[in-house]
Amino acid sequence: MTDAPSDSVPPFERPWLSRYPSNVPPTIALASERLPDAVERSVRRWPERDAFVFYGARWSYRRFWEASGRFAATLNADGFRPGDRLALYLPNCPAYPIAYYGALRLGAVVVQVSPLYIAEDLDRILSDARPKGIVFLDVSSENLDGIPKARLPNLRYAARLKEFYPRHLRPFVNRAARRKGLHPVYPSGPEVRDFGRSLRGPTEFPAPSTDPATEVAVHQYTGGTTGLPKAAMLTHRNLLTNALQCQAWFPVQPAGTSVVLAAVPFFHIYGMTVALNYPLVAGSTVILQIRPDIGEMLKLIDRHHPVELPGVPAIYRGLADHPKVGDYDIRSIRVCVSGSAPLPAEVARRFEAITGGSLVEGYGLTEASPVTHANPIDHALRRDGSIGLPLPMTDQRIVDLATGTQTLPAGEEGELVVRGPQVMLGYSGRPAETAETIRDGWLYTGDVAKVDPDGYAFIVDRKKDMVDVGGLKVYPREVEEVLYRIPGVVDAACVGIPDPILGEVLKAFVVPKLGTTLSEADVIEFVRARIAHYKAPRAVEFRTTLPKSGVQKVLRRELRTAPALEPGQSPR
């Protein structure tokens, strides 16, 4: 089939379409409506079905939609107009979807801010985004106190975390928060608005009439692990189309019947799409987990029997390794798509063995809303080590690393470029970076990959993480896959460090299982026995943990601070 993914894209050969599961369509209708309009259909079809469950507190679709409408009315009364920006500085709790959809219904732009950010990280995002308002929890209030007032939004919507719990638990919420090092402090001042009170206010607000293909819905910041963050402008069409692409690729349950455990954070693009937008468009019930604690997750799975569990490799590894996993019923899980970081094959095998479900690797990036690829959930069609096939309406090419202009044949390694209706408008206020990232309609991912003759893509590594060892290219992911096979290794990452002779060599950071004895020589020899000697790490550092972002991506930039090795110097 050679139909283009949209009228603006010329014919293009797509061998991967012949590998699609029989129940996955090769194309879907492009979203012609705004994201809230699609969710409102779910509200009309299943008004009394639970939209969210938060530690026993239940929000039906009707109740959730009414609350988001009241918040939209509050924003309107406070002077928000279409195009104004509202920052969400929230973890997974009911305040998030209420504020998110309230803002979108009014036509405001949601600015995603990680609740893990403090000090300089938070200041940098707010300074760049310049939101008109911000929504936050009382447990995060102190973080805002550290930001210069001139850079804080004039409207601050403060929510009390305890208000979202069932009444019988509310007296204990603040006490539990303090035990975790959080300090619920409700702010004061003329700029503060009571979020809870806004949910009891008027419901009238003007609905915008705009083009979903050009109306920006979300500013999603990216680049935090490699450089200064920049805001990807994601439109209503981008986000809704990607939700519909996911729904088409994972036809696990009939619409209005699935249950999804949202352990991945909504503030991250992956969680926003696969654990919030896609489930709501499909009429699913979303079980909210405020942070991905593995022990708590087991209890939630046992209690609520989710069918879908989107996550990252660290979650699946944590569940499979938990010493009490056998005490819980987790076999309700039928499908999991792993994103945000490479999925080791051994982790997938172990997780599937204890759940009986399918765990497949997917791929995406912030600039594509984010999902572009996924493996089929059918075991016979998926390929280990691959990120899978492009989703419906998505194209892929492999181009040369030097110029990015030459399309390479199947099997050759180069940069992965993609195009489709989920690709962003561009970076806000950064035309040069936009032009560098999107060229002739193709999004340059920065990932080194190869594609087999059937169209399955395999990520080799990040282009900028490639290490040049004396002129020979080494991709850290290949070495990390070997490190994971060492008995007793729980986590591992590799980076390039300066070397006075070779220019760069590889250094491995290894987290051994408690009680395991490993030496640097053991690790290096294990790798050298399995892949080319120049790919083996020249130095190994043992740690109890690796630095990771809020969605468990290893922060390689923090690991690269290791000093250069001098000739004859011991690497440890």
DSSP E strands in 308-349: the ranges are: 335-338
Please state the length of the chain.
572
Instruction: Out of 230-239, 316-325, 375-384, give the one with best mean pLDDT.
Output: 230-239
Does 3 have pLDDT greater than 60?
Answer: no
**How confident is the model over 441-468, as pLDDT tens digits?**
999 999 999 999 999 999 987 767 778 7
**How confident is the model over 395-448, as pLDDT tens digits?**
999 999 989 999 999 999 999 999 999 999 999 999 999 999 999 999 999 999
Q: What is the DSSP pairing of strand 50-54 with strand 57-60?
A: antiparallel
pLDDT of residue 570: 37
Does 566 have pLDDT greater than 70?
Answer: no
Does 65 have pLDDT greater than 50?
Answer: yes
pLDDT of residue 123: 86
pLDDT of residue 225: 34
Mean pLDDT of the chain: 89
Report which secondary-structure segment, H or E, holds 296: helix 294-304
Does 226 have pLDDT greater than 80?
Answer: no
* 90, amino acid identity: L
Q: Other C-beta atoms within 10 Å of 67: how many?
A: 22
**How confident is the model over 508-536, as pLDDT tens digits?**
999 998 888 899 999 999 998 888 788 89
Nearest-angstrom CA–CA distance, 97 and 440: 35
pLDDT of residue 143: 87
User: What is 466-559's CATH topology?
Assistant: GMP Synthetase; Chain A, domain 3 (3.30.300)
From 383, 340, 381, 343, select the one nearest 361 (Cα to Cα): 343
- Which homologous superfamily does the CATH classification assign to the domain defined by 15-451? ANL, N-terminal domain (3.40.50.12780)
R_g of the chain computed on alpha carbons: 24
Mean pLDDT of 377-381: 90
pTM score of the predicted model: 0.84
Bridge partners for 474 per DSSP: 467
Instruction: Out of 2-6, 228-232, 267-271, give the one with best mean pLDDT.
Output: 267-271
**How confident is the model over 360-373, as pLDDT tens digits?**
999 999 999 999 99
Nearest-angstrom CA–CA distance, 403 and 419: 18
DSSP type of residue 275: I
What are the domain boundaries of the chain? 15-451, 466-559
Structure tokens at 133: 């308002």
Percent of the chain clearing pLDDT 70 (strictly above)? 94
pLDDT of residue 149: 83
Q: Dihedrals φ, ψ of 194, to 5°? A: -85, 110
Q: What is the DSSP pairing of strand 438-439 with strand 442-451?
A: antiparallel
Mean pLDDT of 304-320: 92
pLDDT of residue 120: 75
Bridge partners for 137 per DSSP: 159
Compare 216 and 547 and report the one with higher pLDDT: 216
Does 75 have pLDDT greater than 70?
Answer: yes
